[in-house]
Amino acid sequence: MRGRRARPRLEDSHAIMTRCLRNAAAPALAAALTLCAAVFADGGAFPRGEVAEVTAASPEEMARLAASGLVVDNVAGLTARVYLLGNDRAALDALGCAYRILPPDAPDDKAVLNYRANPEIEAAFTQWAAAYPGLCATGSLGTSAQGRNLWYLRITANPAVEADKPAVKLLSTIHGNEPVGTELLLELAELLLEGYGTDPRLTALVDATDLWLVPLLNPDGMEARSRYNANSQDLNRVFPVYGANYTGTFFDSPLGDGDRQPEVAAVMRWSASRPFVLSANFHGGALVVNYPYDHQPGVPSGQPALSPDEDLLRVISLEYSSRNPDMYASTLFPQGITNGSAWYAATGTMQDWSYRFMGCLEVTVELGTTKWPNYTLLPSYWEANREAMLAYIETAHLGVRGLCLDRATGAPVLARVDVAGNSQPVFSSPHAGNYHRLLLPGTYSLSWEAPGYIPYHVDGITVAGGPATRRDVAISDGDLDGDGLVGAADIQLAVNAVLGDTVGVDADVDGRGLSATDIQAVINRSLAR
């Protein structure tokens, strides 16, 4: 860990109020009271609630707890923590579970000292963007409930140019009292930027990957040392829920960001702006990699909710856990990984929404059983996770990749990319036309579909265990003669091509070889105008 500028010691609100009233001269009293008000607004009145340690009488009772709508966390066998606000304690009482209220778990000032929050993140990102303009750029996804920026750092060679690279996002501290991931992402950024050009592995990773880091998703909560955002919401329980808020993907369903918490809405809009291939979000409270689904309608908590990419998600989760010795040796989670629902069901999580709605394979990395460890322990966290983070990012380069372009113009096309036999699509980028589908070794059939275009198919694509197989496609809107219309002339060209005539254009519009299906596809496009 590199040296850090010490942050001012955080005083409790009562001490500050006493000092303000005792020491402020009359002309400075107004300013002093303003300071005090700010402290109370950000900290004293911030939602904290209570934390209950629940001991369930049976797995069935634990499943009922997980399905209750209460904020459940840190499940270990028949025990769990439940975060309580408002009427939640009465709801917990109604369930009849045995529990005890834990002492406040907010860290003391000594533990918090030197953890970096929004001002330090902004300063670091600004400094790096100035020092490495050819490697990174910074900005804000939006603002929190209290108006703090949600800073990102984009790291890739020549970030000003949209390029054919897999996009990867790493995010942390969606729960404000779980800040270890914030520090690890800042360390990762520094490692990549300083190592570029001297370390071959790091250089190759930055050259070939479009990496986005968002180290602090809940800056309000972190400042107040609270799990929640300033609106008393657990941000990892309020993403759109499959089966309740949507059943399709962003390709065919409204984004639905309008009524979401500002931090969640910002992440949703950003995620929809480009086809992220791979994602990880970093938490604290356990030591495990948790992968989708966290929730599947009809599947009880404690039972696995299997996605179409169950085997793939297990493999990429192991890429992380196997390089963290303590995580991999877990006695609670074999090999340090778990299906989310098999652990405990949770609705409205970011990883389920990212995967299901956006087609981005995302996992949740729990970095340790202590949510907010003393800062002096952070070097050991970095040592345990450095190699795991790099290896995880590298998995974004497996599978099938390529460009999806307009056949006539060569312009990039936003397309849905499907794998035969797998119900979860991914999407190509409207910026560069690139797509990337993570897949295990095997032979696959893929299809590309976009509004206004004829669906295109390719069979027999072989995926090995190394770098992604490349398959570029150029899809047609059916306008074979280029006159801006799809009509009789285009149908005739397709007919002539199928009959063996030289027509001067590629009339295999569906990718299955010249046949009657191409004629029918052009006819269908002419009828759809």
* Cis before 99 (ω within 30): no
Catalytic residues: 366
**Residue range 399-475, CATH number:** 2.60.40.1120
- Digit-coded pLDDT (tens) for 399-408: 999 999 999 9
Q: Of 94, 95, 59, which Cα lies nearest the Cα of 79?
A: 59
pLDDT at 270: 98
* pLDDT higher at 40 or 96: 96
**Dihedral angle computed from the Cα positions of residues 348, 349, 355 and 358, in that order, rounded to the nearest 10 degrees:** 60
Q: Of 418, 393, 422, 305, which Cα lies nearest the Cα of 352?
A: 305
The chain-wide mean pLDDT, for the chain, equals 90
pLDDT at 2: 43
Place of tokens 């191409």: 518
Residue 45's pLDDT band (boundaries 50, 70, 90)? Answer: low
**Residue range 478-529, CATH number:** 1.10.1330
Residues 242 and 136: their CA atoms lie apart, in Å, by 35
Q: Where are the alpha helices (DSSP H) in 448-498?
A: 488-498
Identity of residue 169 = K
pLDDT at residue 82 greater than cutoff 60:
yes
297 to each of 242, 305, 479, how far by Cα in Å?
Answer: 8, 9, 43
CATH level 3 topology of 50-105: Alpha-Beta Plaits (3.30.70)
User: Burial of 85 by CB count in 10 Å (0-12 exposed, 13-18 middle, 19+ buried)?
Assistant: middle
For residues 284 and 367, the answer to whether their CB atoms sit within 8 Å is yes
**Residue range 111-397, CATH number:** 3.40.630.10
For the chain, the C-alpha Rg in angstroms (whole number) is 26
Joined tokens for residue 516: 């009657």
pLDDT at 298: 95
Residues 172 and 149: their CA atoms lie apart, in Å, by 14
Q: What residue spans define the domains of the chain?
A: 13-44, 50-105, 111-397, 399-475, 478-529
Q: Of 292, 277, 483, 310, which Cα lies nearest the Cα of 396?
A: 277
pLDDT at residue 203 greater than cutoff 50:
yes
pTM of the model: 0.90
For 524, half-sphere exposure in the C-beta direction (CA atoms, 13 angstrom radius) is 14
Residues 345 and 295: their CA atoms lie apart, in Å, by 5
